Amino acid sequence: MAVTPVTAARGATTAAIDRISTTLRERMPPLTAWPLPGAVDERLLKQRWPARELATPPADSGLAPVLGDAGPPLVGNALTQMRFGVEFGLHRFERYGPVSWTGAFGQRIVTLTGADATQAALVNRDKAFSQEGWRFFIDRFFHRGLMLLDFDEHRMHRRIMQEAFTRDRLGGYVASMGPALREGIRAWPSSPRLYWALKQLTLDVATRVFMGMRTDDETREINRAFVACVRAGTALVRFPVPGGRWRAGLEGRKRLERYFAANLPAQRAGDGDDLFSALCHATTPDGERFSDTDVINHMVFLMMAAHDTTTITATAAAYYLAKNPEWQDRVRAESLALGDDHPDMAALDSLTSLELVIKEALRLVAPVPSLSRTAVKDTEVLGHHIPAGSLVSVTPAVNHFDPACWTDPHRFDPERFAEERREDKSHRFAWMPFGGGAHKCIGLHFGMFETKALLHELVRSYRITVPRDYEVRWDHVSLPVPVDGLPVHLQPV
Ligand code: HEM
């Protein structure tokens, strides 16, 4: 496309608006996270609205109704949920038990909490729960991503995608991460807002590992388009007003589609070791392959699925390392023992203390705090009647604090995952940051390797500190984000 003075001026304006809104976003907490006196918070959290039945169970079914409440008029419980996150979930678990409903986003949402209720929905034995719940929130921007597909079609796509996540393929991805991570981390200032620094770094790594490219002007623009899609998913105004998130997301999605479509023929023809290439060539033993449109849809979704989750995991783990210097020393000693080479998968597997810390960080701050489903027929969970059409939310973040599965759940205690204790084995769905059942995260090894490689590089480069009395606060508007971006001090080792 020819660059005229008008398009150049428009580009400069967009870039300036982008910079301002990014700075504002990075510096200002959302309204739901603004500090309030403790007594007000206490009242908000504990306020009780009248309990009602979701629906009357069929006569003679022997089932109990689902009880819950709609919360305050108009907004429902959405704002309280966004302000208090897990604490809100724990309160409701205590009041209503494992199956309840809550009013939010103008909907009644059935909430399944605790390992048994979770198991019923995720094992999904009678195919009562579909991914429609996710489509309700994010289909516009992540249309036909793997997580949004259902049943037989999902199984077929997952079989093909699995070919892009074999151990051989993972080895290639890990090899291309190392240099990008080292280069990025070494260039950080001494007092970054860690969450934002990590977010940029994981985007740069994705550019290489997912698309086999170095960061340049075009990939920067692609990254912006992608961030616009992610942010649009949580927009409160869900139609395309000029300057709004929704519209930016729609434009972002179109830009990504154009980009992947333009690069697809070269990827089909070549044999790169990036994820884009792997999807183009993935073939099952029965000869099933992705169409061009499938590859584009999956690439857009995969970038989203990989990006925020890994950033949050690394942020939370780094925070706990800063708060627990004895663990930081232990983790650093193992990393330094590996020497200067970029670690391969075997080397990363040997970082056992780091693995314990990451697992505990994933427990304390589940990057995907709830999973959405829709009941496609009348069904029951733990003797409660759930009518067809109900939007359903499964809550890994709350399960991770269930005292039935964890000792002293609010304490940072990585040893709970050590062989002698294995509290995560107390129930198949006690520890479930990667979900479970047919839709369990396909990138879990990828995500663990990337988080490990990143933190390995971080601790061998710097000592991470926060002031002694600093406690991070998480914003729960969508996925958890530190309200202040998590300012840390990095002292070269
Ligand atoms: C620490 C990092 C990660 C966490 C905590 C995480 C978490 C999750 C969770 C909870 C689900 C299940 C959603 C559901 O059941 O509704 C999921 C699904 C998925 N994740 Fe991840 N994820 C991570 C990293 C990644 C990475 C790195 C990739 C790709 C490279 C990825 C790709 C996917 C895909 C494609 C699905 C959909 C699977 C399906 O529906 O069959 N994730 N992830």
> Which position has the higher pLDDT, 363 or 79?
363
CA 373 to centroid of ligand 1, rounded, Å? 15
Does the pLDDT of residue 14 top 90, yes or no? Answer: no
What's the mean pLDDT when you consider all of the chain? Answer: 92
Residue 11 has pLDDT above 50, yes or no: yes
Mean pLDDT value across residues 55-65 = 97
Count of domains observed in the chain: 1
Q: List pLDDT tens digits, range 410-439.
A: 999 999 999 999 999 999 999 999 999 999
Mean pLDDT of 357-364: 98
Q: Give the model's confidence band at 17: pLDDT under 50 very low, under 70 low, under 90 confident, else very high.
A: low
Using one digit for the tens of pLDDT, what is the confidence trace for 456-478? Answer: 999 999 999 999 999 999 998 88
- Mean pLDDT computed over 43-54: 92
Assess if residue 137 is contained within a domain.
Answer: yes
**Once rounded to an integer, what is the mean pLDDT over residues 96-125?**
96
Distance 435 CA to ligand 1 centre (A): 8
Ligand 1 atom nearest residue 435's Cα: 10
Does the complex come out with an ipTM higher than 0.95? yes
| pLDDT reported for residue 19 | 59
Residue 11 forms part of a structural domain: no
Q: What is the DSSP letter of 487?
A: B
CB of 366 within 6 A of ligand 1: the answer is: no
CB 250 within 8 A of CB 243: no
35-39, 76-80, 332-336: segment of lowest average pLDDT: 35-39
Among 166, 208, 439, 441, say which to mutate for ligand 1: greatest number of ligand atoms within 8 Å of CB.
Answer: 441
CA 383 / ligand 1 centre spacing (Å): 30
Ligand 1 contact via 129 beta carbon (within 6 Å):
no
Averaged pLDDT, 140-154: 97
When pLDDT is averaged across residues 66-75 and rounded to a whole number, the result is 92
Q: Do the domain assignments include residue 34?
A: yes
pLDDT at residue 1 tops 60 = no
Assign 231 a pLDDT band (cuts: 50, 70, 90): confident
Q: Which domain holds residue 158?
A: 26-492
Residue 19 inside a domain? The answer is no
401 occurs within a structural domain: yes
Question: Whose C-alpha lies nearest to ligand 1, atom 32?
Answer: 443
First to last CA, the chain: 48
CA of 14 to the centre of ligand 1 (A): 32
Return the residue matching tokens 């892009």: 164
Which tens digit of pLDDT belongs to each residue from 239-258? 888 878 889 999 999 999 99
* Cα–Cα dist 156/177, whole Å: 29
Q: What is the CATH number of the domain that holds 381?
A: 1.10.630.10
Which residue, judged by its Cα, is nearest atom 19 of ligand 1?
441
Q: Rounded distance, CA 480 to CA 365, Å?
A: 7
Residues 6+ apart with CB under 8 A from 75: none
Q: What is the pLDDT of residue 34?
A: 79
pLDDT of 169 over the 50 cut: yes
- In this prediction, residue 217 carries a pLDDT of 82
Residues 174, 447: Cα–Cα separation, whole Å: 10
Q: Where are the alpha helices (DSSP H) in 233-387?
A: 245-269, 275-281, 292-323, 325-336, 345-349, 352-364
What does the alpha-carbon distance between residue 113 and residue 233 come to, in Å, rounded to a whole number?
A: 24
The verdict on residue 17 lying in a domain is no
- Range 348-366 average pLDDT: 98
pLDDT for position 149:
98
Closest Cα to residue 131, out of 113, 115, 111, 151?
Answer: 151
Counting from 1 in the atom list of ligand 1, the atom nearest the Cα of 367 is: 5
**Whole-number Å distance between alpha carbons of 100 and 111:** 5
pTM of the model: 0.94
**pLDDT at position 364 over 60:** yes
How much is the average pLDDT of 126-147? 94
Stretch 131-146: mean pLDDT: 93
Average pLDDT for 307-316: 96
Tell me which H or E stretch contains 375.
Answer: strand 371-375
5 found inside a domain: no
Q: What is the pLDDT, as a whole number, of residue 2?
A: 47
Give, for ligand 1, the residue of 154, 309, 429 to mutate: max count of ligand atoms closer than 8 Å to Cβ. 309
- Give the pLDDT mean for 276-282: 97
Domain for residue 350, yes or no?
A: yes
115 lines ligand 1 (CB under 6 A): no
